[in-house]
Structure 1
Amino acid sequence: MALSLLIGALLAIQGASFVASSQISASLLEETWNLVDQGEVEPFTLLLKKEVVATGGVYGLGATLTGVGELAWPRPASGCGHSKLINANVALNDGTLAWGELEDAVDSYAVVLAQAVDNLRILGLSCIIPAPWPTLENSCGDWGRIYDFENSWDLSNVNNGVVCAARRLYTAFGARANNVGAAATSAATDAAITIISDVEDELVSYLEAVLSKSAGPGCKSKQKQLRTLAGSLKASIFRASGIAKNGLRSRCH
């Protein structure tokens, strides 16, 4: 009996990250994806969007943030932040990951999340403002296009619809599509789930503000509001990434 209860508790913990939160509504995720003109998005990305919204929960929230963040610019950014975390997730499970590798992977992913926050801030404005193009650093050597896709997904319990759509994007010819697939894959890792769980309330409030039509008259009012909220959220993301690293450190060799 005790063993059954223990197994049940472990399964509950494993699945908790993907149970729909009361405040992460499907409409919030859907509207966030719709910040990007759907006519500019390839079919498999639209399929991924559908599956991510249906999955919801903390996973859906994180995959929406980074997926839309990757679609915010016509030129793709580097995918290294995603690929490093994906490979680290697999190595962590295998017991072959060094602490320095985990630290680099989580830190790189935190930068990806912070950039996504800024990208959504710009998408949420009704005016055109100057903004820098996404960075094209290549610290992983292949622009983040190659990573341990199958083994990383084997460690998650996200529904097969998401996995199939992400696989299509992983093998697509376009770098922008590749990045969206990598965003969906990295969002299912232990570190990503931990970070998004820690900032869930603040991230939901931020997305609601991005989507809001009642931030006051004129563009400057909303621009100021979103800049303030984005700054606070990014600080929370970096704090949460530190917590995630410390929580996973004992599993490094």
Structure 2
Amino acid sequence: MNALEQAVTWLNDPLNWTNPGGVLDRLGEHVAISGAAVLLACLVAWPLGLWLGHTGRGAAVAVVLSNLTLAVPVIAMLTLLPLTFLGFGRAPVVIALTVFAIPPLLANAQTGVAQADAEARDAARGMGLSGAQVLRRVEVPLAVPYLATGLRTAAVQVVATAALASFVNGGGLGQIISAGFGLGMAVGGGQILAGGLLVTLLALLVEGVLAVVERAVTPRGIRRERAARPA
């Protein structure tokens, strides 16, 4: 059998799904790792990005911070972090993926607030709202579509990259791929391909779900404006 046939056979074996360390266990680990990383990144990037956008002086800072986090590859962090007090396992994976997820969340949060309608902002100030109230009641609601875009981008990137967790025994679907390599290409080629397909399908599922969410929270007028922009 070729690798594709081996992958189909491997995926059709119920024991590969239900046994300890099988697909269902690894899928749960993968989702937990990815969800924790995206959540932590949101807690860091969104408040900072919203504040930078509100002050009107945050574009350069957001770009610098994003570039700094992008400059360090995930695989490099996964090599270095286990050598610290974090050790091997999920903790270094979550930290590395959190750093990886920050740039799109930060950039979109800053842009969303910075591009909030100036007339709405001025009207809110004219009504006597403080700066914090303008941010909370006007700018953040107008920035929601941008926040959703950043969340979609970050989540898909993290889900796809979380397969690298297997390098530090962090669990996830990457363990299936790693175990396949341990068997050798002749025997484990189908398992390697099956693991890759599972990661791809999960990333596509997250992309699809969050695309629907993004569309739902984006006002129709903004969707028309985006569609009318030249490619």
TM-score in terms of structure 2 length: 0.32
Using the size of structure 1 for normalisation, the TM-score is 0.29
Bigger proportion of residues as helix: 2
Q: Which structure would you say has the larger Rg?
A: 2
